[in-house]
Amino acid sequence: MTRKIIGCGIIRHELDYITRGKDVDIVYLDPALHTDTDKLERALINAIDSTQERDVPLIIGTRCHPDIEKLAAGRGAKLAQSQNCIEMFLGDKLGHLNSEGFNFYMTAGWLENWRNIFTGAMKWDAVDARQNFGLYDRIIVLDTGLIPLDEEKIIEFYDYTQVPVEIMQVDLDIFREIVSKACEGVL
């Protein structure tokens, strides 16, 4: 029997990769939804209700919506135990990296969707971006190696934010463990 999983579109490549060959159907939420909590809540409710399953795994951060834990519990969904998609890849390493400076983190999915998120959903122009990103020491793009990072998009994002962009190689071990726990009985 095919089981459902609900995931954030930001982590589509990684979730598709670790579930490859499994009997699952993944429903992806639009990556820009976390910029509007009302839209995200409606999308989560619709996605959970449409699965018509109990304990459907939600592969989305516990901090991506202020009431996500209550919402998931109230609808019988099982939420991944990670604050956000960055923590899903870095785990405890996140604290160490944060001690080295004030960082903004992105996955390859963030890099693919930055225009939809920042200029589309948030309506930020270059001035807004520089005001909001200007407090960061650097932007770290997590590279799992699953898809090539587009150098042009990296340069465009740098031009937009004026904050240095660094690439950090990461593996999928922490992500796989978090997803496996949330998908117990599904994967």
Instruction: Please tell me whether residues 99 and 47 are part of one structural domain.
Output: no
Which residues are CB-neighbours of 31 under 8 A, at least 6 positions away? 8, 9, 10, 109, 110, 113, 116, 117
Instruction: Please tell me whether residues 63 and 105 are part of one structural domain.
Output: no
pLDDT the model gives residue 181: 95
Instruction: Please tell me whether residues 72 and 96 are part of one structural domain.
Output: no
Instruction: Please tell me whether residues 47 and 106 are part of one structural domain.
Output: no
Instruction: Give yes or no for a contact between 115 and 124, defined as CB atoms under 8 angstroms apart.
Output: no
Pairing relationship of beta strands 24-29 and 103-107 according to DSSP bridges: unpaired
**pLDDT class of 2 with cuts at 50, 70, 90:** confident
What's the mean pLDDT in 145-155?
95
**pLDDT class of 54 with cuts at 50, 70, 90:** confident
Instruction: Give yes or no for a contact between 43 and 33, defined as CB atoms under 8 angstroms apart.
Output: yes
pLDDT the model gives residue 123: 97
Instruction: Please tell me whether residues 77 and 99 are part of one structural domain.
Output: no
Q: Per-residue pLDDT for 153 more than 90?
A: yes
Instruction: Please tell me whether residues 44 and 64 are part of one structural domain.
Output: yes
pLDDT the model gives residue 89: 98
pTM for this structure?
A: 0.92
Nearest to 130 by CA among 106, 110, 104, 159: 159
Nearest-angstrom CA–CA distance, 28 and 97: 29
Assess if residue 120 is contained within a domain: yes
Q: Residue 56 CA to chain centroid, in angstroms?
A: 18
Look over the chain and give the mean of its residue pLDDT values, rounded to a whole number: 95
Instruction: Please tell me whether residues 40 and 74 are part of one structural domain.
Output: yes
Q: How many CA atoms lie within 13 A of 36 on its CB side?
A: 16
Q: Per-residue pLDDT for 34 more than 90?
A: no
89-129 pLDDT, tens digit per residue, is 999 999 999 999 999 999 999 999 999 999 999 999 999 99
What's the mean pLDDT in 159-163?
98
Q: Per-residue pLDDT for 186 more than 90?
A: no
pLDDT the model gives residue 19: 96
Q: Domain span at residue 99?
A: 87-169
Assess if residue 109 is contained within a domain: yes
**How many domains are there within the chain?**
2
The CATH number of the domain where 32 resides is what?
A: 3.40.50
**pLDDT class of 1 with cuts at 50, 70, 90:** confident
Q: Check residue 30 and report its DSSP letter.
A: P
Q: Per-residue pLDDT for 187 more than 80?
A: no
pLDDT the model gives residue 161: 98
